[in-house]
Structure formats: C-alpha cells, structure tokens
C-alpha cells in the first residue's frame, strides 16, 4: 500500500495529496473492519437462520449447510489472497451474469470482503466461546454474557470506525501561486487570504489542521474548519498563511 505522502508535480509551487483507503493504512483498516463488521453480522444471522431451518430437516442437511458455508468462506479467501484476484472476480461475475466492479470500486469491494472474513472470525469466535462457557458453567451465573456483550459492542464500534475513516479521508492540492487550497470530494476552493490562523496536531502518519477564518463585517466565511493531511502539507499550509503580508 502506497504511503499518503504529498505529490509535487512539475510545477513545484503546487502540492497535491490524497488520503484514502488506497494510500493510508489507517483509513484502509478502519474502513475495511468497520464495513466488514456490518456484513459479518448480517452473514452470521443468515447462517444461523439457515442452520436452524436445516435442523428441521435433519442433521445431515445441517452438515451440508455447514460444508457449503465453509467452502464458500475458503473460496472467497483464496480469491482475495491470490495474485490475480481481479481476473478471477471478473470470471466469477461473468458466470453470474453481473457487471464486475473495476478500479476503485473493485478495491473497495475486495477490502470489504476481507474485512467481512476477519470480523466473521472474530464475532464467530466470541459466540462459540460464549456457548462453550455457558454449557460448561465456567463463569457461573455470568454465563455467556461477556462474550455476547463484546460481540454486540462491535456494531457501534464499527459505526465509529467508518465515521473516523471518513474523517481521515482527504484529497486536494495546495496551489502557492494562486494562494488557494483546492479540495476534492466535495470540490471546494479555499482562498488562503480568508484564513487567519492555522494550528496543527500530529497524529501518527497524519496531521489534523485547524483553520481559523477571518469574518469581515461579521460575515461567515464558508470552508472546512479541520483537515487531515500529510505532515508536509500541513507545514506548507501554515507557512503559506504565516508568510502573507
């Protein structure tokens, strides 16, 4: 995975950067595990429902359901970890007569699938451990409570992870000649002349930049109040604002 360092094109007065799941390991991890938790929870609910229905038809049918799910699980994992995952996904999509994702959509789908597998193992392990503890009476009256509680807690934590991944995402360019910040998603231009103060705080491989805007005649100046950018970009923004006459 590439680092989320700024990119300086031929024009050295313009500094570009991009922080997303493709360039930042933190964003990738938060997004994959956050989204994966939701899909994992849905998958486990569907599996248990099918397992219960199969139980009404006999233990042999339950074994078939378990074998099918395990085979599907292993197949998806093998495809994701293969060197030609994209071509294999395209082949599967053609067999299913659906349009295969490509580019960024394919990367995000792969990340979500990998996160789903990881979180399925985590949630499944908690549920199995809780069942064993409950049946063996290892925790007395407490039973499986701590394990089911931990599994349930993963859902709100996943929501926080997705929100944090969204906050940590940013892309844009600092044009020192124009004296402006050009932001992407949403597209927005911020004139450096409207910024009065800049403060920054380093967090791991990123820097949170807090911008304070001038308010001429008490008017509100639109623009982002906080940005998450690479440290080099944060320093350049602060330097550009401080260097104004």
Question: For residue range 150-181, what is the model confidence (pLDDT) as tens digits?
Answer: 989 999 999 999 999 988 888 999 998 888 99
Residue 9 lies in a domain: no
Domain that holds residue 67: 25-168
Confidence of residue 100 (pLDDT cuts 50, 70, 90): low
pLDDT at residue number 2: 46
Same structural domain for residues 163 and 173?
Answer: no
How does pLDDT run across 6-46, given as a tens digit for each residue?
555 544 578 899 988 888 888 999 999 999 999 999 999 88
pTM for the model stands at: 0.77
How does pLDDT run across 208-243, given as a tens digit for each residue?
999 998 887 778 888 889 999 989 999 999 998 888
Same structural domain for residues 120 and 194?
Answer: no
Q: Is the confidence at residue 86, as pLDDT, over 80?
A: no
How many domains, in total, are found in the chain? 2
Residue 5 lies in a domain: no
Same structural domain for residues 110 and 201?
Answer: no
Mean pLDDT, the chain, integer: 83
Separation between Cα atoms, residue 205 and residue 28, nearest integer Å: 13
Same structural domain for residues 148 and 234?
Answer: no
Percentage, residues of the chain above pLDDT 90: 24
pLDDT at residue number 12: 59
Same structural domain for residues 51 and 112?
Answer: yes
């Amino acid at each position: 995975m590439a680092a989320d360092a700024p990119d300086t094109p031929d024009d050295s007065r313009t500094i570009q950067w991009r922080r997303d799941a493709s360039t930042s390991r933190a964003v990738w991890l938060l997004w994959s595990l956050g989204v994966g938790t939701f899909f994992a929870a849905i998958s486990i609910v569907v599996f248990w429902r099918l397992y219960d229905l199969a139980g009404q038809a006999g233990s042999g049918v339950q074994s078939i359901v378990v074998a099918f799910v395990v085979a599907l699980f292993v197949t998806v994992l093998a495809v994701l970890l293969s060197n030609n995952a994209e071509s294999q996904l395209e082949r599967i999509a053609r067999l299913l007569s659906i349009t295969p994702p490509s580019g960024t959509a394919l990367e995000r789908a792969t990340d979500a699938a990998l996160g789903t597998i990881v979180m399925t193992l985590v949630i499944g392990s908690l549920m199995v451990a809780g069942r064993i503890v409950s049946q063996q009476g290892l925790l007395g009256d407490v039973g499986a409570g701590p394990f089911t509680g931990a599994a349930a807690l993963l859902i709100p934590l996943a929501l926080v992870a997705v929100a944090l991944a969204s906050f940590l995402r940013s892309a844009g360019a600092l044009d020192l000649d124009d004296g402006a910040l050009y932001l992407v998603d949403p597209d927005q231009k911020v004139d450096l002349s409207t910024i009065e103060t800049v403060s920054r705080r380093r967090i791991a491989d990123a820097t949170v930049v807090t911008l304070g805007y001038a308010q001429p005649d008490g008017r509100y100046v639109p623009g982002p109040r906080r940005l998450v950018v690479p440290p080099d970009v944060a320093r350049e923004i602060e330097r550009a604002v401080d260097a104004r006459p």
